[in-house]
Structure 1
Amino acid sequence: MRVLVTGAAGFIGSHLSHRLLERGDEVLGFDNLNDYYDPTLKQARLDRLLPLPGFRFVKGSLEDRAALEAAFDGFRPQRVVNLAAQAGVRYSLENPHAYIDSNIVGFLNVLEACRHRGVEHLVYASSSSVYGANRKLPFAVEDSVDHPVSLYAASKKANELMAHTYSHLFGLPTTGLRFFTVYGPWGRPDMALFLFTRNILAGLPIDVFNHGHHSRDFTYVDDIVEGVIRTLDRVPGPDPQYDPLAPNPGSSSAPYRVYNIGNHRPVQLLHYIEVLEQCLGRKAQMNLLPMQPGDVPDTEADVEALRRDTGYSPATGVEEGVRRFVEWYRAFYRA
């Protein structure tokens, strides 16, 4: 297939592009290589993709409608995976406009490009952050998600609503994936594992919020990519079981689905740090701090819907996943 991947120089996007190319798909990567975090890391990911047969790249932003439409017209994708977005919960408290530009205006441009060019299936990144103030665990796609606690979360919930509108009005098949705390080699420097590793190796203390008492459904990047590809290959149709008198938020009478994509095995943050200490052979100095605004205490993904519909079965525990990350980090940074 011809697959357009936005955010192809990003953490998940670069891994996904490799997997699609390995199985014989053509991939057009689209990314603006912005400086939200170190652009040299994004360029390094991209440099691994550029020599590969079947890969092409266009530099551009989702907000740049003309550039995005030109990429669609030049490549004529059959399917699209939209992973480009302004990421980060905490940054959304500092720079809210970036989230509207990329995650709302940019996503509208993606929907319009898909609609007018007959794209067979749009898969897009949502986030576990949409569960916000929910406390019932595990989080299930059947749950209400009307209480976001950050603008980032609100923008991702908005993406799901916008996608449903296009599925309903124009018959565009869309699938939203609520990612749960993705980690692994080539990861994002603003995420905890990266920050912890850098500081521990430098002999600096690490900031541990909520005094380390919260838990996260840490999901290894290879398991995430497996789930993305399984959903990409399964174009949704109207749900024959959908009942408008008792609506299921995860499906619709339109060709629309939303899934959780996580490990379904939450891990206490303090245990995560212990595993990292073992892999690094060093102890961490911890600054134990209260929970930050916009954060939630615990996450856990109910992945039953994704397992039922695609056979998704995450296989990587944190002991193995953190070890692989540390090996990559030491090699990449010669640390």
Structure 2
Amino acid sequence: MRVLITGGGGFVGSRLTKASLLKGNDVVVLDKSRGELEGYTHPKMQFIQGGVEDPELVRSAVKGCDVVYYAAWSFAEKPLEGFKVDVIGFLNVIEACCDAGVKHIIFPSSSVVYGEPVTTPIAEDHPLLVERSRAPTHALTKLAVEKTMAIYYRERGLPFTIFRFWWAFGDERVPSGTLRKIIDSALRGEPLYVPKGASGSVLYVQDLLRAFEVTTLSERAFGKTYNLTSFNMSWKEILQTIVDLAGSKSTVTEVEPKDWKGSGFLTGNWILDDKRIRDDLGLIPDEDLAKKAFREALKKTIEARRSGA
């Protein structure tokens, strides 16, 4: 199988690239930089430097591919920039997919499209309140791509699968600018604050990779959107774990949500319902393994911050 991974140098894309190569696939990576693939080589990997905004480059990259994993994303804060890169770029990719006879396209979206939790746990049919999102441009462009995939499936017959998740982490680190600031405060022994009741469904990257593996070219997954999760955890628990692992003297205090003035990432009850993928494909995460991996990844992230990385 030949796979194109857009954004293959990013956090998710680089891990998808390596996992796909381990399965014996031929992999084409399209990205503006090697990113987390810097220094990595493989005889079955072709790296093409460039972005999805270039339609001719996209057509060249898609040619001969069976499957596309669309992991490219700009995280632009301004709508004009976000639509130019993320939505128009995606249209370049999906048009090329249809012309090249691609058999399946998979998109790692985000729970951000739900906008604001109104019921929990959040199922895939939860209202898509992007206008209420803490990152409205990010939410709107993700949703635009999701809806475009549905239209192309209906009108052009290109099968798609969408994953929605809240926060993913890897074995080496837990990515988040907000988390890094919290860790830095803990290392200085400063008091830590968190909104009362704030929580979410954390996703271990190995479970994300398994989801890609079991859904790729699976007709049961065609046209489906799936929530993905490994385990649920409150922000209070996460902050207390950081304090314990760092050997910090920081205290963790909960604040009433109405009085919260900090990062929007720490707000809300983002517990996802993953019953659909469990029932459809039998994908059941190992919660204990994922929790252990999260603790180890947090420890590595803390030590990296302690050393100034």
Cα deviation, residue 212, structure 1: 5.6
Aligned to 2:246: 280
State whether residues 276 and 323 of structure 1, in contact with CA within 8 Å, keep that contact through their aligned partners in structure 2.
Answer: no
2:91 to 102, 108, 111: 108
Aligned to 2:56: 66
Instruction: Give the Cα–Cα distance (whole angstroms) in 1 for the partners of residues 83 and 250 of structure 2.
Output: 37
State whether residues 52 and 92 of structure 2, in contact with CA within 8 Å, keep that contact through their aligned partners in structure 1.
Answer: yes
Aligned to 1:243: none
Cα separation, partners in 2 of 1:273 and 1:207, compared to 1, 3 Å: closer
Instruction: Give the Cα–Cα distance (whole angstroms) in 2 for the partners of residues 206 and 233 of structure 1.
Output: 49
Other structure's SS at 2:242 match: helix
Matched, 1:163 2:149: yes
State whether residues 7 and 13 of structure 2, in contact with CA within 8 Å, keep that contact through their aligned partners in structure 1.
Answer: yes
State whether residues 187 and 194 of structure 1, in contact with CA within 8 Å, keep that contact through their aligned partners in structure 2.
Answer: no
1:92-127 per-position Cα deviation (integer Å, ceiling 9, x unaligned): 2xx333321222111111111111110010001211
1:29-79 per-position Cα deviation (integer Å, ceiling 9, x unaligned): 11123xxxxxxxx63x2125x322311211111112222122223xx2110
311-320 or 175-184, which moves further after superposition?
Answer: 311-320
Matched, 1:219 2:203: yes
1:121-146 per-position Cα deviation (integer Å, ceiling 9, x unaligned): 00012110111133101111123324
Cα separation, partners in 2 of 1:146 and 1:199, compared to 1, 3 Å: closer
**How do 1:172-187 and structure 2 match up within 5 A?**
172-185=158-171
1:120 to 103, 108, 115: 103
Instruction: Give the Cα–Cα distance (whole angstroms) in 1 for the partners of residues 48 and 297 of structure 2.
Output: 30
Cα separation, partners in 2 of 1:204 and 1:234, compared to 1, 3 Å: farther
96-105 or 131-140, which moves further after superposition?
Answer: 96-105
**How do 1:140-155 and structure 2 match up within 5 A?**
140-149=123-132, 150-155=136-141
**How do 1:1-335 and structure 2 match up within 5 A?**
1-33=1-33, 43=35, 45-48=36-39, 50-73=40-63, 76-87=64-75, 92=77, 95-149=78-132, 150-185=136-171, 190-201=176-187, 203=188, 205=190, 208=193, 211=195, 213-236=197-220, 255-263=222-230, 265-284=231-250, 289-290=260-261, 292=263, 296-315=267-286, 316-327=289-300, 330=303
Instruction: Give the Cα–Cα distance (whole angstroms) in 1 for the partners of residues 191 and 13 of structure 2.
Output: 28
Cα separation, partners in 2 of 1:17 and 1:144, compared to 1, 3 Å: same
1:157-215 per-position Cα deviation (integer Å, ceiling 9, x unaligned): 111110010000010001111122112345575443344335544x275875x536411
State whether residues 261 and 301 of structure 1, in contact with CA within 8 Å, keep that contact through their aligned partners in structure 2.
Answer: yes
State whether residues 260 and 303 of structure 1, in contact with CA within 8 Å, keep that contact through their aligned partners in structure 2.
Answer: yes
Partner letter of residue 274 of structure 1? Q
Partner letter of residue 177 of structure 1? F
Task: Give the root-mean-square deviation of aligned CA atoms.
Answer: 2.8
286-295 or 274-283, which moves further after superposition?
Answer: 286-295
Other structure's SS at 1:308 match: helix
5+ long unaligned stretches in structure 2: none
State whether residues 99 and 152 of structure 1, in contact with CA within 8 Å, keep that contact through their aligned partners in structure 2.
Answer: yes
Give TM-score scaled by structure 2 length. 0.85
Give TM-score scaled by structure 1 length. 0.79
Cα separation, partners in 2 of 1:223 and 1:293, compared to 1, 3 Å: closer
1:248-278 per-position Cα deviation (integer Å, ceiling 9, x unaligned): xxxxxxx511111122x42110111112222
213-222 or 2-11, which moves further after superposition?
Answer: 213-222
Cα separation, partners in 2 of 1:78 and 1:207, compared to 1, 3 Å: farther
State whether residues 5 and 27 of structure 1, in contact with CA within 8 Å, keep that contact through their aligned partners in structure 2.
Answer: yes
User: How many residues matched?
Assistant: 298
